[in-house]
Amino acid sequence: MTSRCLGSLASGESVEAYTLTNAAGAAVQVLTYGGIVTSLRVPDRHGGFADVVLGFDDLASYASGHPFFGAIIGRIAGRVSGGRLTVEGRDFQLPRNEGNNHLHGGRVGFDRRVWTARPQPRADGAESLRLTYRSPEGEEGYPGAVDLAVTYTLTPAHALWIETEAVADRTTAVNLTHHSYFNLAGEGAGTVAEHELQILAEELVPTDEAMTLSGRREPVAGKAGDFRRPRRLGEAMPQLFKAHGDLYLLRAPGAAAPPAPTLAARLVEPRSGRVLEVFTDESCLQFYTGYALDGTRVGKSGRAYGPHAGLCLECEGYSDGASRPDLGDILVRPGQPQRRTTIYAFSAR
């Protein structure tokens, strides 16, 4: 593992970049700013490496605002309807930073905070980095103080493990996710239209015109968002509501979390042969097509990111889970840490 100072924010806070590398040459770079994964290099079927996540080379591009490239999202990932959070009978008004919704933790979410980093020794020798952050009472309107930890591990088999932990001093809501935009052909290689996607889910939650979650479980069968069998995205995306992508429910009503992360999605890029398999113990998966990328941001390759230049597979709880625990309980209670694991496993065929 190596580290370097990437620069400083306007606040004067220093930002470090850590690079984790395995014996085969795969590598991931993580910033202490937002826990952002800025690059992720994995091999294709011929052993050629490419960076498969969208992002920038410089701190200024991240600090000036971006569509959550590679970041840790929270306290609540996704949209909270009307910004209304109810915890143990008390109502809290969260900032509405996307129309009438509270999106991805508010105006200054975890993606814009500086985390503390330290290498995490592991018995198996894999490269591992632990980031910590304390979110104080009242930050972005949330009740309770929360101590958070996110651990990134790069395994010898090219799997990126993301393990999260939240400990609260009073009952509050925490729903973290990782927000990388993937393009398995390589960052800057064009759109993801030729990728083939499979999502192993039987139900989804539809949204309204404002992308507000409806709270209704609906079968994927017969819908544009049915990815139970692999589908080419160039054919599927125009049929999706607003070409955006849906929130999928990974467990049946009342089902307990699995004892270990289970397969939720598989993404294949035929030309390179790269395969991404997503394993998680979260209750939901948000598929996002990157439709809102508009070509105004230029990435590491020097190429502009247009619509569908990358896609997101965000493993999380249900955003309105504080009031709908049947769809994914996101409350953290004192003495009961919340622990979650998501694995992005890369291979080639």
Q: Which two tokens stand for residue 123?
A: 């018995």
Q: List the chain domain ranges.
A: 2-348
Residue 212: what pLDDT? 86
Residue 201: what pLDDT? 98
Residue 50: what pLDDT? 98
Residue 328: what pLDDT? 81
Annotation marks residue 314 as catalytic: yes
Q: CA–CA distance from 314 to each of 285, 309, 311, 341 (Å)?
A: 5, 16, 10, 12
Select the CATH number that applies to the domain covering 2-348 from these four: 3.90.1150.10, 2.70.98.10, 3.20.20.140, 1.10.3720.10.
2.70.98.10
- Encode pLDDT of 242-295 as tens digits: 999 999 999 987 788 899 999 999 999 999 999 999 999 999 999 999 999 999
Catalytic residue among 179, 195, 196, 282: 179
Half-sphere exposure of 322 (CA within 13 A, CB side): 27
Annotation marks residue 102 as catalytic: no
Per the CB < 8 A criterion, the answer to whether 276 and 312 are in contact is: no
pLDDT lower than 50: segments of the chain: none
